[in-house]
């Protein structure tokens, strides 16, 4: 898949350029050929009109007689030849090359889902989006009618009927404004609209739109066939409703399981927080933020006395810290270059099978880098050890990540909740160091859904937090996510530190963590006006 990482999309621009050059050449040749044909045609028409004015006189002129015959013999051969060259040329034109990269249907569907994810998370207006407007600013060329149609179609095929409907309505709006030929027409758009309504359970709307369709195409076989089918469904629904009102449904109504409802609303709450945090629509109360501060980190390692690290405490209990300027631009470029050729689509643990599988809720590409393969990688590991005061003996390799269009990682814990999930490692993931290797033009924040904390990437900085309580139990308040990238390309790398080897070392500010149990986590305040 190319859509899962921006860096993988670069070769597509080369493909695009090649198609542009060849099409340019083709159109040029065709235009010249057609110009010649057109010139002949104009001449013929003019001559013919002249001839019709006075036929005997016209044909009586020997020159006219000759040119007419010529036109119908040799000229005709030339013209036929010219048309034939055209068709041969058309036949031989190829814009499908074997040696370049192409996106697949899966990429199209991934990119379509990414667009709707951005639309939903960042509350984007569909009309603005299709006109290429983001937050009131023009940021790309408007989408064409056919772009909107393909997007709607792809969403429909992915069974996302609600978004398919939104985009088909937008397609219809644009279609009516423009007057150009497309490989689809209004009837096709209307069919998607009515079907989407039907799939969403709104049969009445489905009928309404099918009737609009039938006005344009009275003999449309599917539409005609659907009307009685829809009518029957409405009738059945009405009788069911009447029976239910009379109380003679014969259905056994099950008691709702209160726990299931509870679980769902917890998830929904998390979801609402997640999206609001991604938009930067939450803030922490001032009684809490007043204790946050910046300082130089000089403890943990003698090296730090010489090269002090700028430390910004952005959350207390559990402590979330940003270390500034810990990676240089050169190191970042080096790491990116090393990782790129090894990129694979990020996978997650399937709790049912225990296998690693790609998932829609984690869209990115990543690669793992070992300390032994480069001085830069081992130097970074050493830096993590110096800064955190933790042992790297049992840490994972450096994971380099690039997010694609709308790339994200939905709320999760970095620690494992199953005993055997990290069997290769010594213990659970005690701490995370998340290096930001790029800024992100818009979106792409790291957010902590239970803390109400949004962190927007700063190139060269690292985010650090402990995933486990001192007891070794997972700290559920560390639930976090990577927000969808709205504009730009997001690069990060993860260094996950494990429990093994930390026994004798004192993790950073552990006293604070002990105190944490006593303190209540403040609830973030939603920003009322944006």
Ligand X SMILES: O=C(O)CCC(=O)C(=O)O
Footprint of ligand X (CB under 6 A): 409, 414, 434, 446, 480, 482, 492, 494
475 lies in the site for Fe ion, by CB under 5 A: no
We find the least distance from the C-beta atom of residue 178 to ligand X, in angstroms, to be: 40
| Tokens linked to 508 | 């950073």
Residue span binding Fe ion (CB under 5 A) among the ranges 22-30, 73-81, 387-395, 408-416: 408-416
411-440: which residues touch Fe ion (CB under 5 A)?
A: 414
Residue nearer to Fe ion on the CB measure, 26 or 413: 413
- Give the chain's length: 530
DSSP state of 439: -
We find the least distance from the C-beta atom of residue 523 to Fe ion, in angstroms, to be: 23
CA distances from 430 to 230, 373, 512 (A): 57, 25, 16
Choose the contact partner of 273 out of ligand X, Fe ion, none; CB within 5 to 8 A by kind.
Answer: none
Residue nearer to ligand X on the CB measure, 153 or 495: 495
We find the least distance from the C-beta atom of residue 249 to ligand X, in angstroms, to be: 48
Choose the contact partner of 494 out of Fe ion, ligand X, none; CB within 5 to 8 A by kind.
Answer: ligand X
188 lies in the site for Fe ion, by CB under 5 A: no
Residue nearer to ligand X on the CB measure, 431 or 434: 434
SS3 for 375? Answer: helix
The H or E element containing residue 228 is helix 221-246
Q: How many residues bind Fe ion (CB under 5 A)?
A: 1
DSSP assignment string, 91-138: HH-----SSS----HHHHHHHHHHHHHHHHHTT--HHHHHTTEETTEE
Burial of 70 (0-12, 13-18, 19+ CB in 10 A): exposed
We find the least distance from the C-beta atom of residue 482 to ligand X, in angstroms, to be: 3
Choose the contact partner of 446 out of Fe ion, ligand X, none; CB within 5 to 8 A by kind.
Answer: ligand X
Contact 237, 409 (CB under 8 A): no
Residue nearer to Fe ion on the CB measure, 319 or 414: 414
Choose the contact partner of 4 out of Fe ion, ligand X, none; CB within 5 to 8 A by kind.
Answer: none
Residue 474 has φ and ψ, to the nearest 5°, of: -65, 135
We find the least distance from the C-beta atom of residue 431 to ligand X, in angstroms, to be: 12
Choose the contact partner of 116 out of ligand X, Fe ion, none; CB within 5 to 8 A by kind.
Answer: none
Burial of 421 (0-12, 13-18, 19+ CB in 10 A): middle
CB-facing half-sphere around the CA of 492: CA atoms within 13 A: 30
410 lies in the site for Fe ion, by CB under 5 A: no
**Pairing between β-strand 480-482 and β-strand 409-412 as defined by DSSP bridges:** antiparallel
Residue span binding Fe ion (CB under 5 A) among the ranges 6-14, 243-251, 409-417, 463-471: 409-417
386 lies in the site for Fe ion, by CB under 5 A: no
We find the least distance from the C-beta atom of residue 366 to Fe ion, in angstroms, to be: 12
Residue nearer to Fe ion on the CB measure, 348 or 521: 348
We find the least distance from the C-beta atom of residue 4 to ligand X, in angstroms, to be: 13
Q: How far apart are CA 117 and CA 160, in angstroms?
A: 11
CA distances from 488 to 86, 124, 160, 400 (A): 43, 17, 26, 17
DSSP state of 198: H
Which residue's C-beta sits nearest to Fe ion? 414
We find the least distance from the C-beta atom of residue 491 to ligand X, in angstroms, to be: 9
SS3 for 311? Answer: strand
Residue nearer to ligand X on the CB measure, 298 or 399: 399
Q: How far apart are CA 364 and CA 111, in angstroms?
A: 12
Residue nearer to ligand X on the CB measure, 9 or 482: 482
Binding site for Fe ion (CB under 5 A): 414
């Amino acid at each position: 898949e190319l859509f899962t990482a921006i860096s993988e999309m670069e070769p597509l621009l080369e493909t695009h350029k090649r198609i542009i050059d060849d099409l340019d050449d083709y159109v040029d040749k065709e235009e010249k050929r057609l110009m010649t044909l057109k010139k002949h045609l104009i001449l013929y028409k003019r001559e013919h009109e002249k001839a019709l004015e006075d036929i005997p006189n016209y044909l009586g002129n020997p020159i006219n007689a000759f040119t007419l015959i010529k036109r119908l013999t040799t000229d005709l051969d030339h013209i036929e030849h010219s048309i034939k060259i055209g068709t041969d040329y058309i036949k031989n034109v190829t814009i499908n090359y074997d040696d370049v990269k192409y996106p697949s249907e899966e990429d199209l569907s991934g990119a379509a889902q990414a667009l709707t994810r951005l639309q939903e998370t960042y509350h984007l207006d569909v009309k603005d989006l299709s006109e290429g407007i983001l937050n009131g600013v023009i940021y790309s060329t408007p989408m064409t009618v056919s772009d909107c149609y393909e997007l709607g179609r792809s969403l429909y095929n992915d069974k996302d009927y609600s978004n398919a409907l939104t985009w088909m309505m937008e397609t219809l709006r644009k279609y009516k404004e423009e007057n150009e030929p497309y490989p689809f027409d209004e009837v096709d758009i209307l069919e998607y609209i009515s079907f989407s309504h039907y799939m969403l359970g709104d049969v009445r709307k489905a009928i309404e739109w099918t009737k609009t369709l039938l006005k344009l195409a009275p003999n449309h076989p599917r539409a005609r066939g659907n009307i009685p089918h829809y009518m029957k469904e409405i009738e059945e629904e009405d009788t069911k409703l009447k029976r239910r009102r009379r109380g003679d449904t014969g259905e056994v109504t099950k008691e709702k399981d209160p726990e299931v409802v509870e679980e769902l609303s917890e998830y929904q709450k998390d979801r609402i927080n997640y999206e609001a945090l991604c938009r930067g629509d939450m803030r922490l109360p001032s009684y809490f933020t007043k204790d946050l501060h910046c300082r130089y980190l000089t403890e943990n390692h003698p090296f730090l006395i010489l090269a002090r690290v700028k430390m910004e405490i952005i959350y207390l209990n559990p402590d979330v810290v940003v270390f500034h300027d810990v990676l240089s631009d050169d190191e970042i470029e080096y790491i990116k270059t090393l990782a790129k050729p090894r990129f694979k689509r990020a996978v997650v643990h399937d709790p049912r099978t225990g296998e690693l599988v790609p998932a829609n809720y984690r869209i990115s590409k990543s690669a793992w880098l070992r300390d032994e393969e480069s001085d830069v990688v081992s130097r970074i590991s050493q830096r993590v050890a110096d800064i955190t005061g933790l042992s790297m003996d049992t840490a994972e390799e450096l994971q380099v990540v690039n997010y694609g269009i709308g790339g994200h990682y939905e709320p999760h814990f970095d620690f494992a909740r199953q005993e055997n999930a990290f069997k290769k490692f010594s213990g659970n993931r005690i701490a995370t160091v998340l290096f930001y290797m790029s800024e992100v033009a818009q979106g792409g924040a790291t957010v902590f859904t239970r803390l109400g904390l949004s962190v927007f990437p700063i190139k060269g900085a690292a985010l650090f937090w402990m995933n486990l309580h001192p007891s070794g139990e997972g700290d559920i308040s560390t639930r976090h996510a990577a927000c969808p990238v709205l504009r730009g390309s997001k690069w990060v790398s993860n260094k996950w530190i494990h429990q093994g080897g930390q026994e004798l070392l004192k993790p950073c500010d552990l006293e604070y963590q002990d105190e944490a149990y006593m303190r209540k986590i403040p609830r973030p305040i939603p920003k009322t006006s944006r």
